[in-house]
Structure 1
Amino acid sequence: MPFANFKTPEGALSKTQKEEIVHRTTAMFAEYFGEAVRPYTMVLIEEVKDGGYGRADEVYEVPEAWRAG
Structure 2
Amino acid sequence: MMLFLHFETHAFLLFSWRGGALIEGGLLSEGELLLMQNRALQMEYIGAAYLRACFNIFSICIIAIS
Indicate the TM-score class for this superposition, using the shorter chain for normalisation: 0.3 to 0.5
TM-score for the superposition, normalised by structure 1: 0.42
Higher-Rg structure is 2
TM-score (norm 2): 0.43
Higher helix share: 2
Greater strand share, structure number: 1
Instruction: Work out which structure has the larger RCO, using CA pairs closer than 8 Å and 6 or more positions apart in sequence.
Output: 1
